[in-house]
Amino acid sequence: MATHKSAVKRARQTIERNKVNRERRSAIHALTKSAEAAIAGKDPKVAADAVRHAEAALARGAGRGTMHWKTAARKTSRLAKRLKTLQQTKKK
């Protein structure tokens, strides 16, 4: 247990920060899953919209320190790659 005043404050801040980060990670995960489902649905317009929202959430998560920026970049890249593949198959 923290005994110094500053250590008590840091403990309080850690609890709040963990709560906020957990909510953000959950939202990012949900948006990423919905984007993957939209891509699996084979509709390029719906998938493009879902991927755009997921990419924005990933960028926010990386910018605010919720996740590592390289993790966000990797997930964004993989979503974009799947979307591009879907769009190219629909054009043929």
Task: Please tell me the pTM assigned to this model.
Answer: 0.84
pLDDT tops 80 at residue 91: no
Residue range 17-56, pLDDT digits in tens: 999 999 999 999 999 999 999 999 999 999 999 999 999 9
- pLDDT score of 27: 96
Residue spans of the domains in the chain: they are: 5-91
For residue 65, which phi and psi values (nearest 5 degrees)? 85, 10
In the DSSP assignment, the letter for residue 64 is: T
* Percent share of the chain, pLDDT over 70: 99
Architecture label for domain 5-91: Up-down Bundle (1.20)
User: CA dist 73 to 7, 53, 59, Å?
Assistant: 34, 14, 8
How many Cβ atoms sit within 10 Å of the Cβ of residue 3? 6
Secondary structure of the chain: what % helix, strand, coil (to 5)?
85, 0, 15
